[in-house]
Every structure is written in structure tokens, then in C-alpha cells.
Amino acid sequence: MNLYKALQLQSGNAICYSGFRQGQQPGGEYPTYQEVKEDLELLQNHWKYLRIYDCDLHAKTVLKVIKKEKMNFKVLLGAYIVAEMNNFGCPWGGVYSEEILKQNKKYNKAQINKLISFANQYPETICALSVGNEACAEWTDHYVSVESVIKYVRMVKNGAKQPVTFCENYVPWLNKLEPLVAEIDFISIHSYPVWEYKNIHDALQVTQQNYHAVASKFCHKPVIITEAGWATNSNGNGILPHNVSEELQEIYIKDLMKWSEQEKILTFVFEAFDESWKGSNDAMEPEKHWGLYNENRNPKLILKNKNFFY
């Protein structure tokens, strides 16, 4: 089902945005109003939709800038919910004390209430809401039960008017998330061929297969892609170093955007800017290198092509 028609949204390019620069990170130093303004001025000519992950100070600044500077963005705003259950299958953690899990449930409820508050404060800017990000995957370090996600969806739908979704890797949508589908307004999937050790020649086909596997299972519900991208550096941690580069990123993103435009599938490219705070202390950690711009806001190869958006 086509999201644009179902939810009466205009078509447009979409990108995931997190503006943390060198020395900044969630819970620490946040991007300033001026820094966010500079970022959005870079993005505004070619991107209509922004995905924001959290209802923290950064999200508050982004929404302020868009409104005060009269920018034309529409925002898919998320609440970042944290672990409510232990996940012993997570390779890098995911196990917490009962006290922390109890505190996390209170934190998550507060985040959902913030999401509702922002939605009502910025109804012209915020076009859709997500109650979480990758919180049900088998490998996640912030595991939340499907039942809890459903509870949060109902809270948001009772408190805000925007359509509601949950952003997750494509795999859980094919099994455990089936009870959630009836509760949300549209399905949001993530597709990362490079994380699955696929080469560039197979990459778009893999994303197409991911999309159609979910869309064909739930043909009555709109499906969008809220993350798809290609890293430009790797230390070998989960991604083979020879399988990432600016040249390969350019090929995949171009193919992805051409296909999604032809098929009228709203697709959020991951992501706008590199973020050095992510992952390990290794500068070549792949989590740091997904941006179409580097952390200094210099464009990578894909954006140096003047015909990219045309």
C-alpha cells in the first residue's frame, strides 16, 4: 500500500538526521541552535523529510530551528525507548539489573509523554511519530517486549493526532511483530545489505527483497523504509573493510533513491552526517561513517555529483 496516498503525504527525499559533532554526544554536550541551523540549511534544498530519533534536547532544538527559520521540513519524530528486558543474545551487552530495568520502564513512559507533547506543540512540522527504534530485534541491547511497544503505540494514538509507527529491522516484522501491525498506521523497516555481507552488485536487490517480504505479508498496511544506507569506512567490526567506500556508498544510495522514487516508497537514507561518538573508540568503527557528509560537514563523493538529485 502506498504511504503517500494512505496518509496524504507529499512525495519527497527523506534522510535520517542527528547533528552531534566532534566532542558532542547524547547525554553530554548537544549541538547548538546555530549548529543545527547550519546543518538544516545544508539539507533544506534537497530533503523534505527528516527522521529524528529521540525527544531529547537535540530534537527540541531541531524543531525550534525549523519553526523559527520557517524551514519547509516535515519530521518523523521518534521516542528512543531503552531496555525493559534482558537480552542474553546481544553480542555487546543487553543485560541489566532488575533495578535498572524498573527505572527504564519509568524512563520510557516519560519519553512517550514527551513524544506526545512535541507532536501537539509542532503539529505543522511533525508529520508522523515512532514509539521506538530497533528495540525488538534479536541482537538489540535495548530489548522491549512487543506487548510494551503496543502499549506505547496506544498511549501515543490516544494523545496525538499524527500517524504512529515503530521503526525496526525488516526481520522482526516477518514474525514477532505481527500483533503490532494492527495497532500502527504504517510499518517502518530497516535494510542494510552491507551488514549482511552483501556486495554492491546485489545490494539493491537485497533491499527490494527485504521490502517486498514485509509489504506482501501486510498488503493492507503502508510500508516505508526508515533506514537504508552504506558505510564509507570500517575496521572489520561487522563489515568487511573492502566492502565500504565513498564510491560504493554513491552506487547504493543512487540506486536506492531511483528505485524508491519510481515505486513511490518513502525511504529515509541513513544518514546525513558522520557521528564520531558512536560505537567504539576506534576511529574506523563503521558506526561512525554512514553520513553523506563527514563530521566537518564536507560532502562525500555522492554529493559532489551535481546531477545526484536530478
Where are the extended beta strands (E) located within 206-276?
A: 223-228, 267-269
For residue 282, being part of any structural domain is answered with yes
Quote the CA–CA distance of 284 and 244 in Å, as a whole number.
11
Ramachandran angles phi, psi of 234, nearest 5°: -160, 145
Q: Is residue 1 part of a domain?
A: no
Q: What share of the chain is helix, strand, coil (3-state, %, to 5)?
A: 40, 15, 45
Local confidence band at 9 (pLDDT 50, 70, 90 cut-offs): confident
**303-310 average pLDDT score:** 75
What's the pLDDT at 213? 99
Looking at residue 179, its pLDDT comes to 98
At CA 52, angle to CA 27 and CA 32, rounded to 5? 50
247 pLDDT above the threshold of 80: yes
CA–CA dist 112, 155 (Å, integer): 8
Q: Is the dihedral of CA 44, 121, 270, 296 positive or negative?
A: positive
pLDDT of residue 308: 73
Domain with residue 177: its CATH number is: 3.20.20.80
- Collapse the DSSP code of 131 into the 3-class scheme (helix H, G, I; strand E, B; otherwise coil) and give the result: strand
48, 73 in Cβ contact below 8 A? yes
In a domain, residue 3? The reply is no
Per the CB < 8 A criterion, the answer to whether 31 and 64 are in contact is: no
Q: Is residue 5 part of a domain?
A: no
Per-residue pLDDT at 239: 96
**Distance (Å, rounded) from C-alpha 232 to C-alpha 242?**
10
In angstroms, rounded to a whole number, what is the distance separating the alpha carbons of residues 104 and 143?
Answer: 11
Residue 27 falls within a domain, yes or no? yes
Q: CB of 19 within 8 A of CB of 273?
A: yes
Per-residue pLDDT for 292 more than 60? Answer: yes
Residue 2: pLDDT over 70: no
Confidence of residue 307 (pLDDT cuts 50, 70, 90): confident
Helices 200-217, 246-263: inter-axial angle, 10-degree rounding: 30
pLDDT of 1: 64
pLDDT-derived band of residue 11, with 50, 70 and 90 as boundaries? confident
Domain of residue 170, residue span: 11-304
Whole-model pTM: value is 0.97
pLDDT for 185 equals 98
pLDDT bin (cut points 50, 70, 90) of residue 8 is: confident
Q: What is the pLDDT of residues 169-188, one digit of tens each?
A: 999 999 999 999 999 999 99
Q: Three-class SS of residue 91?
A: coil
Q: What is the pLDDT of residue 230?
A: 99
Kindly provide the b/e burial profile for residues 151-167, where b requires at least 16 CB atoms within 10 angstroms of the residue's own CB.
Answer: bbbebbbeebebbbbbb
The pLDDT mean for the chain works out to 96
Is 255 a member of any domain? yes
Average pLDDT of the residues in 194-208:
98
Q: Point out which residues pair with 286 in neighbouring strands.
A: none
Report residue 4's pLDDT band, with 50, 70 and 90 as the boundaries. Answer: low
| Position 115 confidence tier, pLDDT thresholds 50, 70, 90 | very high
% of the chain at pLDDT higher than 90:
94
Q: What are phi and psi of 32, to 5 degrees?
A: -80, 170
Residue 6 lies in a domain: no
Looking at residue 47, its pLDDT comes to 98
Lookup result for grid cell 527504564: 104
Query: Is the pLDDT assigned to residue 56 strictly greater than 70?
Result: yes
Cell numbers that stand for 102 in this block:
524498573
Mean pLDDT of 276-290: 95
Task: Note the pLDDT of residue 3.
Answer: 65
Q: What's the structural domain count of the chain?
A: 1
CA angle 147–149–154, rounded 5-degree value: 95
Using the predicted structure, report yes or no on whether residue 5 has a pLDDT greater than 80: no
Residue among 271, 285, 289 at smallest CA distance from 227: 271
Q: Mean pLDDT across the stretch 249-275?
A: 98
Assign 263 to helix, strand or coil: helix
Q: Is 2 part of a structural domain of the chain?
A: no
What is the percentage of the chain residues whose pLDDT exceeds 70? 97
